[in-house]
Structure 1
Amino acid sequence: MSRRIIQIDLNRVEGDLDFQLELEDNKVVDARCIGSLYRGFEQILVGRTPKDSLVITPRICGICGTAQLNAAVLALEQVGGIPVPPAAIRIRNLCLMAETVQSDLRQSFMFFTADFCHPKYAERSFYQKARTAFLPFKGSVHRGALEHSRHIVEIIALFGGQWPHSSYMLPGGVTSPASSRHVIDSLSILNKLTRWFEQSVIGTDLDSWLALQSADEFFTWLGAKDAHADSAIGLFTLMSRDIGLHRLGFGTPHMLSYGAYDDPEDAGTFPPLRKHLFKAGFLNGDTGNIEPFEQAEITEHVRYSWFQPYSGGRHPFQGLTIPDYQPHSDRYTWCKAPRYQNKVVQTGPLADALIDGEPLIRSLYQAEGGNAWLRQFARLHRTARLLHKMREILHELAAQPNDPHMISPDEKEIPDGEGFGLVTAARGSLGHWLQITDGVISRYQVITPTAWNASPKDSEGRYGHWESSLIGLTVDDPDDPVEIGHIIRSHDPCLVCTVHLLDTGKRITVWP
């Protein structure tokens, strides 16, 4: 029996991500997901005035700063009991959707599909089409995604003054109203991206795509026209299934979603009771049932993390983030191990769609499970849903031009207390937990989507989701395990947001 240990520096992800894998006859029998970047924002915020979080937390990440800002302002609004007008909720949702669309297009066509151009697949029938569409900086879809994703975030700049690192959300609303100029310019940007998305990505109009309700309907659609099969999503699907991505990367069956985009029609209700446009919930993989989400069920473990130890798991309001780097111990990452109901969960667009009851994704999941292909497919399908929803929001804003964008709170400082802000970022469930004592932040805890997915083992020795999705995988070439990249990149890793070697084995870099 051949046994070896390899360590992989995974590129084309956000941040610094290593994997240490133990192989027996090229089969992964043990996996460690190593977040080698320390963030420290929790320490930076302690001792500052509460509203400083609105300036500092958007800098956690250069790609999801709008989501970080949204979570931060929701936490402050909960502490202060501050209402928000419907127009402000619409503007917040619009900007968060724009950021998600940008992220999803770039991740799909700059990070994920580039692997189809790997020389390993040179003899595959799809190889030349893959290079024509997805080759970095030369492929038609790659270049189109780069161009159009660059412009969609201009919508955030119109309403928020800049992107990235905007701070236009304030307790009680947003800094500027939806002027007719902002709405018209945003519609122009959205129209251009939608036309490209219809022509290049889905090969049909948005309404026809969103009318697909089942796996059978989708695969019938895929074979109905060359334009469908040759679209980016068609090529991606045919290539993925040719190399077996629909049989890889399942991981934990438990899925979590905080719900996406506050419902402006429910503006009078305070989070977490406020309704969402896309539902919150927990998909229990043991029963197949979708259960109500309860944030009190969240805990974080640090048994295998480089933080000061504590026993078991702690809720973020009791959590500690005190670095304790011990590289020669059995601890191996800066990422904590979040758990929900003491279970390992995954989050992201697949989880969001299943919990929301989206019919096409649910049908595909029932047919084949939560595999690497479906996880990435759900991300592209979400883009179609968001482009449709963004148009609705802009028309709603145009129809109510005089609606207030801010309900100014009492000028006194945010009171002492605790609150949390939960949003759906591009990569999944993002939460901020805040405590204020004597007018300053006394505790701030952030759990990012990648913290859920990239978690290490917990206090009970249970592997994190990414780790379990790799164990049992057989790689063709341990010196160039492209299969690892397919599985992990299907989650859109972001170690920049996630706070989170051994000397044995061989360090390699996954192509390219």
Structure 2
Amino acid sequence: MARTTLDIDLNRVEGDLEFQVDLDGNRVVDARCVGTLFRGFEQLLIGRAPKDGLVITPRVCGICGTAHLYTAALALERLAGLPVTPHATLVRNLCLMAENVQSDLRQSFLFFTPDFVHPRYAGQPLFADIEAAFAPLKGSVVRSALSASRKVVELVAIFGGQWPHSSYMLPGGITRGATARDLIDCQDIVDQVIEIYERDIIGDSLDNWLALDGSDAFFDWLDAAPHAASAVGLLTRFARAIGLQHIGAGARHFLSAGSWHDPLRWQPPYTDAPTLLAGGIYHADGGRLDPFAPEHINEHVRHSWYRPYPGGRHPFQGETVPDYQPDTDRYTWAKAPRYGDQVVETGPLADLLTGGDELIRSLQAREGPNAWLRQFARLRRTGLTLHFMKAHLAELGRQLGTPHFLPPPADAFEHGEGYGFVQAARGTLGHWLQVTDGRISRYQIVTPTSWNASPRDSAGRHGHWEQSVIGLELADPADPVEIGHIVRSHDPCLVCTVHFVQRGERRRYGV
């Protein structure tokens, strides 16, 4: 049977991507994630002052600037062994939480659910309800979620002056402390977003939603009318009706560095990284959780357009030297990060599995990783984040008037190395820098999409996205909407067009 290649162009979020799959009949037999543009931020930073990273790295991504700013500040603090006040960590966490909430809401209802109104599904019993709720830019849930996503990032602007590309975090704290007026405004913002989340997203109280602790309890909850008609209810019932719980497993190892640094315990010597939601490596088979050990991270370039080196290198020994060789078996500008020798998935599903969410662990144990569960976990995480935002605001009220910035010594950044991690909306984000004679001599960034969209490594292991579609049976190769469901469940923030190649002929199909 003739082999068919589909080229799926993914527009920019954390790098421009093209997703290629080979079909044998209707079955996906190989896949390649192709990063089509060279980022170059690591090279741009070499030779600059260490604190330049605070301004430059938030521009890596237009929607995750807070995450990059936070990570850059953490790396400098670890390099210099600087203390940070609880006041500053609370504000930093709140702003990161707000950024993640807006991202999760927009991804869910601007990029994932529009596929549900595909003409293929017009005969589904729920289709009229799906159109009413999720029609692009018109559906009731879409409009409500957009309103909440716009509102929540106002919190970042209160402390950072603007969003995105804010510059209010710096080594030792933040540029200004919270005031009583700030707290009142922030509480109003969070209350408004929770009201929308409870009314339209879950159809229940936040407390009841977070109390669900197992798959049986969830499916019983789903049967109740207000829950079934909510965004989560409609998404779940429709996704399962079209079989998304059976596709898109990918790698069965899940990476998280831990969510939200503990404001009271995030202090030198930083030999551990206390977080409010635990990190680690969660193994789907058996449910084992191993501690997160950053020394196990390494990057391969065997199938990437970079100057070759053998095996994988830790970011402190890493390099990002372009070596474009298009007519070889190298096929991407993305590197291949690995945790030891394991291909891993990062993102909301990983956050909640490592963090001990009993509902998500129960659903994973019941059916394994899949496209529906990955998207469901994103909306589950939104509720948990809003819960932590309320708790952070209460604690910040007790910290009013306490220091928000501890000035570092003048020579704090002359020599040394440091790294930092946060859980961005799409998963684990890491920065590593080395400083020599007051100048950056090495800077390496590993983004969440680098983990998920990685190419094959030196041992030939496919990246996670590649694994998630290999073996997939397409109902109609001329209309491969299943690939759209799987890829979008990972939050690449894309609208894509598929180019169909067969017997030398190229055709275009919308996905």
Normalization by structure 1: what TM-score? 0.96
What is aligned with 2:177? 177
CA deviation after TM superposition for structure 1 residue 161, in Å: 1.3
Contact 1:201–1:231 under 8 Å retained in 2: yes
What is aligned with 2:80? 80
CA deviation after TM superposition for structure 1 residue 145, in Å: 1.3
Task: Name the CA distance, whole Å, in 2 between partners of 1:427 and 1:133.
Answer: 24
C-alpha distance after superposition, 1:135-186 (max 9, x if no partner): 1111111111112101111101101111100111111001111111111111
Contact 1:450–1:494 under 8 Å retained in 2: no
What is aligned with 2:339? 340
Indicate yes or no: 2:113 matched with 1:113. yes
In the TM superposition, 1:157-176 aligns within 5 A as 157-176=157-176
Task: Name the CA distance, whole Å, in 1 between partners of 2:332 and 2:493.
Answer: 14
SS at match of 2:157: helix
Instruction: Label 1:316 to 1:507 Cα distance change in 2 as closer, same or farther (>3 A).
Output: farther
What is aligned with 1:213? 213
Letter in 1 for 2:291: P
Task: Name the CA distance, whole Å, in 1 between partners of 2:293 and 2:479.
Answer: 42
Indicate yes or no: 2:430 matched with 1:431. yes
What is aligned with 1:263? 262
Q: Which moved more, 1:406-415 or 1:119-128?
A: 406-415
What is aligned with 2:124? 124
Task: Name the CA distance, whole Å, in 2 between partners of 1:233 and 1:12.
Answer: 27
Contact 1:279–1:356 under 8 Å retained in 2: yes
Contact 2:346–2:452 under 8 Å retained in 1: yes
CA deviation after TM superposition for structure 1 residue 326, in Å: 1.2
What is aligned with 1:6? 6
Indicate yes or no: 2:281 matched with 1:250. no
What is aligned with 2:409? 410
Letter in 2 for 1:377: F
In the TM superposition, 1:236-315 aligns within 5 A as 236-285=235-284, 288-315=287-314
Instruction: Label 1:4 to 1:74 Cα distance change in 2 as closer, same or farther (>3 A).
Output: same
What is aligned with 2:70? 70
Task: Name the CA distance, whole Å, in 2 between partners of 1:164 and 1:43.
Answer: 23
CA deviation after TM superposition for structure 1 residue 502, in Å: 10
SS at match of 2:312: coil
CA deviation after TM superposition for structure 1 residue 271, in Å: 3.1
SS at match of 2:255: strand
Task: Name the CA distance, whole Å, in 2 between partners of 1:193 and 1:423.
Answer: 23
Letter in 1 for 2:148: H
Q: Which moved more, 1:262-271 or 1:29-38?
A: 262-271
What is aligned with 2:150? 150
C-alpha distance after superposition, 1:72-119 (max 9, x if no partner): 001100111100011111111000000000000000010000100111
Indicate yes or no: 2:472 matched with 1:473. yes
Contact 1:317–1:445 under 8 Å retained in 2: yes
Return 5+ residue gaps in structure 1 as ranges.
496-500
Contact 1:298–1:340 under 8 Å retained in 2: yes
Letter in 2 for 1:444: Y
What is aligned with 2:102? 102
Contact 1:89–1:262 under 8 Å retained in 2: yes
Task: Name the CA distance, whole Å, in 2 between partners of 1:12 and 1:140.
Answer: 27
Q: Which moved more, 1:474-483 or 1:429-438?
A: 474-483
Indicate yes or no: 2:440 matched with 1:444. no
How many residues matched?
505
Indicate yes or no: 2:50 matched with 1:50. yes
Percent identity at matched positions? 58
Letter in 1 for 2:354: I
Letter in 1 for 2:159: F
Task: Name the CA distance, whole Å, in 2 between partners of 1:366 and 1:452.
Answer: 23
Contact 1:281–1:291 under 8 Å retained in 2: yes
Indicate yes or no: 2:452 matched with 1:453. yes
Instruction: Label 1:137 to 1:216 Cα distance change in 2 as closer, same or farther (>3 A).
Output: same
Letter in 2 for 1:25: G
SS at match of 1:266: coil
What is aligned with 1:135? 135
Instruction: Label 1:270 to 1:243 Cα distance change in 2 as closer, same or farther (>3 A).
Output: farther
Structure 1 runs (4+) greater than 2 angstroms displaced: 10-17, 267-272, 284-288, 501-511
Instruction: Label 1:113 to 1:472 Cα distance change in 2 as closer, same or farther (>3 A).
Output: same
Task: Name the CA distance, whole Å, in 2 between partners of 1:97 and 1:400.
Answer: 19
Task: Name the CA distance, whole Å, in 1 between partners of 2:251 and 2:75.
Answer: 29
What is aligned with 1:30? 30
SS at match of 2:313: coil
CA deviation after TM superposition for structure 1 residue 267, in Å: 3.2
Letter in 1 for 2:78: Q
Contact 1:14–1:494 under 8 Å retained in 2: no
Contact 1:11–1:510 under 8 Å retained in 2: no
Contact 1:300–1:338 under 8 Å retained in 2: yes
Q: Which moved more, 1:182-191 or 1:486-495?
A: 486-495
Instruction: Label 1:367 to 1:12 Cα distance change in 2 as closer, same or farther (>3 A).
Output: farther
Task: Name the CA distance, whole Å, in 2 between partners of 1:115 and 1:457.
Answer: 28
Instruction: Label 1:11 to 1:69 Cα distance change in 2 as closer, same or farther (>3 A).
Output: closer
SS at match of 1:267: coil
What is aligned with 2:497? none
What is aligned with 1:331? 330
In the TM superposition, 1:382-397 aligns within 5 A as 382-397=381-396
Letter in 2 for 1:189: I
Contact 2:3–2:24 under 8 Å retained in 1: yes
Task: Name the CA distance, whole Å, in 2 between partners of 1:510 and 1:46.
Answer: 42
CA deviation after TM superposition for structure 1 residue 38, in Å: 1.7
Task: Name the CA distance, whole Å, in 1 between partners of 2:157 and 2:87.
Answer: 17
Contact 1:348–1:429 under 8 Å retained in 2: yes
Task: Name the CA distance, whole Å, in 2 between partners of 1:127 and 1:347.
Answer: 31
CA deviation after TM superposition for structure 1 residue 286, in Å: 5.7
Contact 1:347–1:429 under 8 Å retained in 2: yes
Contact 1:105–1:380 under 8 Å retained in 2: yes
CA deviation after TM superposition for structure 1 residue 269, in Å: 4.1
C-alpha distance after superposition, 1:474-510 (max 9, x if no partner): 1122222110111011111269xxxxx9996636354
Contact 1:8–1:507 under 8 Å retained in 2: no
Contact 1:485–1:510 under 8 Å retained in 2: no
Contact 1:6–1:505 under 8 Å retained in 2: no
Q: Give the aligned CA root-mean-square deviation in angstroms.
A: 1.7
CA deviation after TM superposition for structure 1 residue 273, in Å: 1.0
Contact 2:88–2:173 under 8 Å retained in 1: yes
C-alpha distance after superposition, 1:241-261 (max 9, x if no partner): 000000000011111111111
Instruction: Label 1:185 to 1:21 Cα distance change in 2 as closer, same or farther (>3 A).
Output: same
What is aligned with 1:202? 202
Contact 2:14–2:61 under 8 Å retained in 1: no
